[in-house]
Structure 1
Amino acid sequence: MATSESAEDSLYPIAVLIDELRNEDVQLRLNSIKKLSTIALALGVERTRSELIPFLTDTIYDEDEVLLALAEQLGTFTQLVGGPEFVACLLPPLESLATVEETVVRDKAVESLRKLSEEHSKEDMENLFVAMVKRLAAGDWFTSRTSACGLFSVSYPKSSAAVRQDLRNHFRNLCSDDTPMVRRAAAGKLGELVKVTEIEHVKGDFIPMFINLVGDEQDSVRLLAVEACVAIATLLSDEDTEALIMPTLRNCAEDKSWRVRYMVADKFTDLQEAVGPELTSRDLVPAFQSLLKDCEAEVRAAASHKVKVFCENLKPEDSREQLIMVNILPCVKDLVIDANQHVKSALASVIMGLSPILGKDKTIEHMLPLFLTQLKDECPEVRLNIISNLDCVNTVIGIQQLSQSLLPAIVELAEDSKWRVRLAIIEYMPLLAGQLGVDFFDEKLNGLCMTWLIDHVFAIREAATNNLKKLVEKFGKDWANTQVIPKILAMSRDSNYLHRMTCLFCINVLAGVCGPEITTRSLMPVIVSLAKDNVANVRFNVAKTISIVLPLIEPNIVKADIKPCLVEMETDTDIDVKFYAKEALASADGIINK
């Protein structure tokens, strides 16, 4: 009887798994798959190989969510089946998962197979893994053939010369497959396969495949082939690149599909690095001009993002400035006033990076007018992208020139009638302050920051208080003591109760950065004085502020000055004032009794 029970117990994990995977509840089935590793540990490596893996292979018919979890789990099963020596037993279920209809499941199965390929010995790779890749590549359904495309690059390096030839032939067939989705998958994986292939076979086998894919009737295939262009050009000499790649690349830059041109623009600096400086100057500069002038805004925006890096990498350096002034700057001037705000925004995020390249004189003559135009652009994102990169220009032309040309526009934005524009400027003020320096900031912008504290929009007042904290962190306590705190304390006597509330909000955020001495000497008396304010909202905010600053105050001062104030507030006629005073009093007693 004991033997029988033991046998039943040994079958229990599989039996439970079978019951759970047959349950109608998808979540239950999903949970059972997610604990596969626990079940495998309970079974041991031998039973995992002989029972669990065959069972899973036979039950791949479930919901996509369950199959996705299974594909992910199997990629981590190497040790659970006994280590790399037995990893081949995981191939059958993953091969089946690589053929299902749902793309995300197939992709996850391929990802797991790629991970497991690292565990295979050279012998198992050729006999088992490569055999699986060939079956997938020759499958009747396009799903298996698309999955196969992602496995060639991990199979190729560990294979013998004869097997490599076979793999190249299979991949060639996939590149010319009747189904566009298979060709698309092949185009997407061509680049990584090229990187592990011998250079003679890159020229003899893969460049013809690349040229065919770039000329495919489907633009979704052509645009993915552009990525492979980078990998191929990196491996070739300048002569081979010019002869074998550049004609095709020029065609891609002028492709009838904007999606292909967009991909070229998006990968342009990678292409620039791959083809080298000579071919860049001769072939890529005209192509880049074309993309910057493209009829589609998406293409112009993608190219605009690359302006700075493209110009930085132009070589030789002694001809860089001339290339930019003659070929790139005219396009940039047109893009500054482009009709599409995404194009202008993309350019604004990088245009200031041209200043260090062009130098002081040309920045002042040619770039500053463009910056000023963008600072006045109707699109807030354009203006903010310029402001956030002012340091690039400051280091080149100096703060005096910058203040004369651009600061008036910044001040104008800070007083914009749209509160969201003002809010955005406030958020960039600490960055701007760091670029301008404390003296210049005090002269030109300090007053503006204080003005925001009495703005009629609460969100502006709140942002302005947080801005002050960041400025104090940047400029220091002494600066705060002379430039900020006197103005804040003056607000405590303002006739508008909202301004008195803002005074308390400022104290809340500044106390921590100003430290105990300034808080005790300058801030605490003002807080206590506002405890008798005739507006209840101000009084209960006094109690809340006291709770915040209490940890910075010495216990004897808390006992002598603050506790009596709180005791009196506890008898206030307003229920909120009493509530917050009681909370603050408890905190004060805790400090006193330490």
Structure 2
Amino acid sequence: MNPESEELYPIAILVDELRHDDVSLRLNAIKRLNTIALALGPQRARDELIPFLDDSIDDEDEVLLALAGELGDFVEYIGGPQYAHILLQPLENLAAVEETVVREKAVESLNKIGLQLSAMQSEQYFVPLVKRLSMGDWFTSRTSATGLYASGYSLVSPAIQEDMRKTYAQLCIDDTPMVRRSAATHLAGLAKKVNKDHLVSDIIPLFNKLSQDEQDSVRLLTVTDLVAIAEELSHEEIRIYVVQSLKAMVSDKSWRVRYMIADNFVKMAKAVGDDITREGLVAAFVRLLKDNEAEVRTAAAGQLIDKESILTQILPCVRDLVTDTSQHVRAALAMQISGLAPILGKEETIEHLLPLFLQLLKDEFPDVRLNIISKLETVNGVIGIELLSQSLLPAIVELAEDKQWRVRLAIIDYIPLLATQLGVEFFDEKLGGLCMSWLSDSVFSIRDAATVNLRKLTEVFGVEWAKQTIIPRVLAMGTHPNYLYRMTTIFAITAMASAVTPEVIRDYILPTVTNLVTDPIPNIRFNVAKSIEALIPVLMLNVDTQPLVDQQLRPALAKLNEDSDNDVRFYSHKALLTVQ
């Protein structure tokens, strides 16, 4: 191959691969574009590679998606930001294709490149591109255009900015709902870029049109626009331009719009401030809490506002939600109601919230009960563990013995958190026996989670506590006639090995492990081999316990390695490899 043909080789390979029938080969070629560009150098990448790629935009969506992504990070390969505008043409074509994900990726890449353009490049190349897409015959290009206005707006002259605002206004009243949806989606970004005068004179009227669109799929997207607009306005301007729009949305005929308002209510309240929230929005929030659609009530149940409003107007609605006919509404409320405690304070929490907590803890739907348990730490910080335990502990114990094993399993996950809050003495008295009882549960998943729970409790209360409280009871199960108890012992001591000291392993755990080497049940013997494998690294960390590996564990593994059961031999051989 002569030097000239060798110089052309990267493009030749790319041409062949992009024309190959196999999609995977074409996809791999796209993913190697940066390597090919490096081989060509910036000049040839600009002059040959980019034009070739622009002519190749007729492929499977998967290939086009990869190309759209690659081009967004291609500026360095064509010589830097001063040449970045060269990448706009192929991305413009990709932004107009039929497949949505390809267009979205092309818009994302165009915005990346737009950030690297100079003011001159923006005016000469980027803004004309946006205008061409905005005027495109197909809705696909107009949809993509809406996502480009915010990134191109700041760098251009006031005259061009005015033209961009006018063109965006046309997209907001486009005949195609998908274009209007996209305009609503990106209006918030543009609202952050314009100055205050243009926000009031241009953006807010556009918002008003979109928020009254005949399609609820457009209207619901304007909720985030309203939040973005409110964040840019003064309190007085919010009263003039925002409050009425918000109240109208709360009463929207579409539950999906009302749901979006409920789901974004906290953001809205922060944007408008406490005074306006109390004056104009609390009544709207109460209406959402009483909405006839469960999805709206669910979203509203997860939102919080100030103490005075909660006590006077919100709390009566919360009491109704506790007995709501939808289990999903009650579950959402259970997840969020504890967040009211820090707002209300100790006395109000005890008077108003504790009865509701207890009622939710008796709910027939497990998720409701579990959601309350998962948030007890917040309540504990307000009213103290003593009062909390007196009121709620019976319900916790009842859940821990629930007939549905998944409920019991979920409670086990929260036990270490409760242990941290309760303290060692209270825990030993009220919940210690319960934790041990799970080790003999009829469901394996419960027994398995219980062993992990013991390790976590050891980490919370310390090794000395474990030596006195847990370990003797676990090891006693190692001689139980029922093989499931002996199996649980193996699982428990293996799980706890990482949380105890090598000395505890030597004095307490090793005797039980070595005794079970000769257990008549093969499943126990091969789990003994797995346990030994887990214990070896812990013992090797301590100089005093290192000899135990050769003195006790290696002989035990050698014995198991001669076992008649294939699984026992397999796991013992695997463990022996760690001590070679």
TM range (shorter): over 0.9
Partner in structure 1 of residue 400 of structure 2: 414
Cα distance in structure 1, aligned partners of 2:137 and 2:239: 39
Partner in structure 1 of residue 363 of structure 2: 377
Q: Deviations over 1:257-299 (max 9, x none)?
A: 1111111112111111111222110111111111111111111
The alpha carbon displacement at 1:80 in A equals 1.4
Partner in structure 1 of residue 329 of structure 2: 343
Cα distance in structure 1, aligned partners of 2:84 and 2:567: 68
* Residues 1:558 and 1:11: Cα distance change in structure 2 (over 3 Å): closer
- Residue 304 (1) aligns with residue 318 (2): no
Which of 166, 170, 174 pairs up with 2:171?
174
* Residues 1:204 and 1:520: Cα distance change in structure 2 (over 3 Å): same
Partner in structure 2 of residue 426 of structure 1: 412
Asked if the contact 1:336/1:347 (under 8 Å) is kept, the reply is: yes
- Residue 274 (1) aligns with residue 271 (2): yes
The alpha carbon displacement at 1:573 in A equals 5.3
Cα distance in structure 2, aligned partners of 1:25 and 1:580: 45
The alpha carbon displacement at 1:575 in A equals 5.2
- Per the normalisation by structure 2, the TM-score is 0.95
Which of 289, 292, 295 pairs up with 2:292?
295
What are the residue-to-residue correspondences of 1:59-458 with 2, within 5 Å?
A: 59-307=56-304, 311=305, 314=306, 321-458=307-444
Which of 16, 23, 26 pairs up with 1:26?
23
The alpha carbon displacement at 1:560 in A equals 4.6
* Residues 1:536 and 1:60: Cα distance change in structure 2 (over 3 Å): closer
Q: Deviations over 1:414-451 (max 9, x none)?
A: 11112111111111111111121111111100000001
Q: Deviations over 1:546-574 (max 9, x none)?
A: 33323444344445555555555556555
Structure 2 alignment gaps of length 5 or more: 540-544
Structure 1 alignment gaps of length 5 or more: 315-320
Partner in structure 1 of residue 461 of structure 2: 475
The alpha carbon displacement at 1:495 in A equals 2.2
3-state DSSP of counterpart to 1:513: coil
* Residues 1:50 and 1:475: Cα distance change in structure 2 (over 3 Å): same
Q: 574-583 vs 101-110, which deviates more? A: 574-583
Partner in structure 2 of residue 38 of structure 1: 35
Cα distance in structure 1, aligned partners of 2:511 and 2:298: 56
Q: 569-578 vs 21-30, which deviates more? A: 569-578
Letter in 1 for 2:100: T
Q: Deviations over 1:114-134 (max 9, x none)?
A: 111112111121121111111
Asked if the contact 2:64/2:102 (under 8 Å) is kept, the reply is: yes
- Per the normalisation by structure 1, the TM-score is 0.93
Cα distance in structure 2, aligned partners of 1:587 and 1:193: 62
Cα distance in structure 1, aligned partners of 2:46 and 2:568: 70
The alpha carbon displacement at 1:8 in A equals 2.7
Cα distance in structure 2, aligned partners of 1:562 and 1:39: 57
The alpha carbon displacement at 1:580 in A equals 4.7
Letter in 2 for 1:96: N
The alpha carbon displacement at 1:107 in A equals 0.9
Letter in 1 for 2:464: D
Cα distance in structure 2, aligned partners of 1:67 and 1:323: 53
3-state DSSP of counterpart to 2:98: coil
Cα distance in structure 2, aligned partners of 1:552 and 1:104: 51
Letter in 2 for 1:274: A
% identity of equivalent residues: 56
Asked if the contact 1:292/1:303 (under 8 Å) is kept, the reply is: yes
Cα distance in structure 1, aligned partners of 2:368 and 2:91: 49
Which of 494, 505, 514 pairs up with 1:519?
505
Cα distance in structure 2, aligned partners of 1:510 and 1:385: 28
Partner in structure 2 of residue 317 of structure 1: none
- Residue 493 (1) aligns with residue 479 (2): yes
* Residues 1:575 and 1:135: Cα distance change in structure 2 (over 3 Å): closer
Cα distance in structure 1, aligned partners of 2:72 and 2:538: 55
Asked if the contact 2:370/2:407 (under 8 Å) is kept, the reply is: no
Name the Cα RMSD after superposition. 1.9
Cα distance in structure 1, aligned partners of 2:490 and 2:482: 13
Cα distance in structure 1, aligned partners of 2:98 and 2:573: 65
Cα distance in structure 1, aligned partners of 2:169 and 2:260: 23
